[in-house]
Amino acid sequence: MSSYRQPGTVLTDHRFTVPLDHSDPSGERIELYAREVVAGAKAGADLPWLVYLEGGPGCGARRFVGKQAWLGRALQDYRVLLLDQRGTGLSTPANRQTLALRGGPQEQADYLAHFRADSIVRDCELIRKQLTGGAPWTVLGQSFGGFCATHYLSTAPEGLHTVLITGGLPSLDASAEDVYRAAYPRIERKNAAHYARYPQDVERARRIAEHLAEHRPVLPSGYTLTPQAFQSLGLMLGTGDGSHQLHYLLENAFVRTPAGHVLSDTFQEAVHAALSFAARPLYAVLHEPIYAQGTRPTAWAADRVRDEFPQFDAGKALAADAPLLFTGETIHPWHFETDPALRPLRRTAELLAARTDWSPLYDANRLAANEVPVAAAVYHDDMYVETAHSLQTARTIRGLRTWVTDEYEHDGLRASGGRVLDRLLALVRDEA
């Protein structure tokens, strides 16, 4: 372990080894990385632990500097552990460069089947016993991290002192199709709100899509920018400032050259940064498997369900002189054609999409008997997580207190500073 300082904080690096397959503890092991953060003035204090589970899947824990965002509020009460979930950050990586070491696509798919919430929670339990001496700890789960926290409550509540969930109460039994069938209307509403705010973007988006349909440019990174790929910039619309950032991106799309108007370098660079999965390939590869339970394959559910919403078809929108609708948190087979970071993983993703032996993730009966204090922020009309699904689950978990708000979007935990976390702590402590 090594310790070092940032403004107002002391940080310590931790590395742990855990079984790849927790049902085979003597088998292959992988490494996990986690960063401990404590307020500088409390570095030697005996503080309770809070482990933060990042959203995703496939995203390493956020890299804070000092007491940014919600971390400052957490450090008033806790020693915080920022965990790079398996396959992410400084934990044993899983990407196009490393997965080839596993063998072919089938071996890669079998390997990645161990990277869902069930394995992440069992990782946490091994880490907890090493760090706390067996004492339960608090879990803060953002988005997919909340899915993990709900699984934690279902399978190992003895390890939990308190659970705090932000934008991440999953349906306990919805299929991937159910999830996306609920998602597209929400995404359409976010589009309507964006175009109402920035009506000039209707024509800008159409002009860009028409250009892409005609030219199919390849960005300097090797990313093929198709109209469908361009539509997936709608992922931005689910965050507090995302609509504004999308507007700024669209207004700088074209530049005049001797050859006529072409996509500007500035636009191409910004689009690549927004669309590339190079830094988080598991987000794409495992996105639908996080909903899979039992023998039903996910089978590219978002792509199939999209056919039920023809208003999202770029070609039809352009032909009908209709606004181009951006999409949201949906992964499609073409992602594995346009993105060079995903192309080598296409067959692996197809095998995961066809898989029929997924273990159950949630135990409704155990959640109904829950005794762990739980509070959850549910963002009204959250583009990433269906509010109705979240509230149904909230009613199932005994004792859970909800805070339903439209003050923030899905990134409220980060965007609010410490306000969202402070509210949840007040709820779970019966102070609000």
Work out the angle at residue 278's Cα, subtended by the Cα atoms of residues 123 and 408, and round it to the nearest 5 degrees.
Answer: 70
Residue 39: CB partners within 8 Å, gap ≥ 6? Answer: 8, 9, 10, 67, 75, 76
Residue 32: CB partners within 8 Å, gap ≥ 6? Answer: 15, 16, 17, 18, 83, 84, 85, 86, 91, 92, 123, 127
The three state secondary structure string of 254-300 is: EEEECCEEEECHHHHHHHHHHHCCCCCHHHHHCCCHHHCCECCCCCC
Extract the tokens encoding 414: 């980060």
Q: Answer for the pair 150, 364: CB distance below 8 angstroms, yes or no.
A: no
The three state secondary structure string of 129-158 is: HHHHCCCCEEEEEECHHHHHHHHHHHHCHH
Cis-peptide, bond into residue 7, ω within 30° of zero: no
In 133-237, alpha helices (H): 144-155, 176-197, 200-215, 227-231
Extract the tokens encoding 329: 């948190």
Extract the tokens encoding 275: 């669309």
Give me the catalytic one of 46, 307, 321, 357.
357
- Environment class of 127 (CB within 10 Å of its CB; exposed 0-12, middle 13-18, buried 19+): buried
Give me the catalytic one of 91, 119, 143, 154.
143
Helix or strand or coil: residue 309?
coil
Q: Answer for the pair 178, 193: CB distance below 8 angstroms, yes or no.
A: no
Distance CA 82, CA 69 (A): 14
The closest of 201, 205, 229, 206 to 217, measured between CA atoms, is: 229
Helix or strand or coil: residue 162?
strand
Residue the block writes with tokens 């002192």: 161
Q: Is there a catalytic annotation at residue 357?
A: yes
Extract the tokens encoding 355: 């898989």
The radius of gyration of the chain from alpha carbons, rounded to an integer in Å, stands at 22
Distance CA 166, CA 62 (A): 15
State the catalytic residues. Answer: 143, 357, 410
